[in-house]
């Protein structure tokens, strides 16, 4: 990874990749489930939660605004893209389950794991390797916090 291979700009693919997983959250905000009794999914140590939030913002910004000028298509990227798509579909199906049946701890952990893998896959697919640093940190904190709170 050489930083001179990157430029600041606008990535429509990055923007779409960031916006798509937010659609179920918007739906949840507009029409929250009637029977949810979930506690807040906050980190036990506030500074860890803050680090996760900062990394989430950096991840989003970098996926949208940092562009790899040398990114090339490859068979490996197709596989990575496919895995990301599968995780995204699984995430959407998890939301359908969330709204239609009993909410289980494993469902909630899955709803943290699937988008985390998706965003890592998006970073790899776009060749946006610097974005992987905040993405992986956010993923670890998000999954660990969700597991700690619900398992």
The predicted pLDDT at position 28 comes to 80
**Cα(94)–Cα(88) distance, rounded to whole angstroms?**
10
**Residue 33: is its pLDDT beyond 60?**
yes
For the purposes of burial, counting CB atoms within 10 Å of the CB of 52, is it exposed (0-12), middle (13-18) or buried (19 or more)?
buried
Tell me the C-alpha distance between 61 and 66, whole Å: 8
Contacting residues for 146 by C-beta, under 8 A, at least 6 apart: 41, 108, 109, 111, 112
* Mean pLDDT (whole number) for 32-50: 79
The mean pLDDT value for 5-17 works out to 96
Cβ-contact 116, 138 below 8 angstroms: yes
Containing 68, the helix (H) or strand (E) segment is strand 66-68
Percent of the chain with pLDDT over 70: 95
Provide the residue ranges of all domains of the chain, joining segments of one domain with +: 52-151
Residue 54: pLDDT above 90?
yes
Pick the more confident residue, 33 or 27. 27
The pLDDT, as a whole number, for residue 63 is: 98
Q: Which helix (H) or strand (E) holds 116?
A: helix 105-125
Question: CA gyration radius for the chain?
Answer: 16
Other residues' Cβ atoms within 10 Å of the Cβ of residue 8: 8
Q: How far apart are CA 147 and CA 110, in angstroms?
A: 9
Measured between alpha carbons, how far is 127 from 129 in angstroms, rounded to an integer? 6
Q: Using CA atoms, how far apart are residues 131 and 38, in angstroms rounded to an integer?
A: 31
> Region 61-90: what's the mean pLDDT?
94
Q: Which residue has the tokens 């949810």?
A: 36
Q: In sequence order, what are the beta bridge partners of 66?
A: 8
């Amino acid at each position: 990874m050489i930083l001179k291979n990157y430029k600041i700009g606008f990535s429509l693919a990055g923007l779409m990749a960031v916006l798509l997983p937010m659609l179920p959250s918007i739906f949840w905000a507009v029409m929250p489930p009637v029977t949810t009794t979930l506690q807040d999914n906050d980190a036990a140590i506030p500074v860890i939660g803050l680090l996760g939030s900062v990394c989430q913002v950096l991840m989003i910004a970098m996926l949208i605004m940092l562009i790899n000028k040398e990114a090339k298509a490859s068979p490996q990227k197709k596989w990575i893209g496919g895995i990301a798509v599968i995780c995204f579909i699984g995430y959407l199906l998890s939301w359908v389950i969330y709204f239609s049946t009993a909410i289980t701890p494993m469902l909630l952990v899955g709803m943290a794991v699937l988008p985390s893998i998706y965003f890592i896959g998006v970073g790899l697919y776009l060749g946006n390797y610097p974005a992987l640093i905040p993405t992986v940190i956010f993923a670890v904190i998000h999954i660990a916090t969700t597991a700690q709170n619900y398992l």
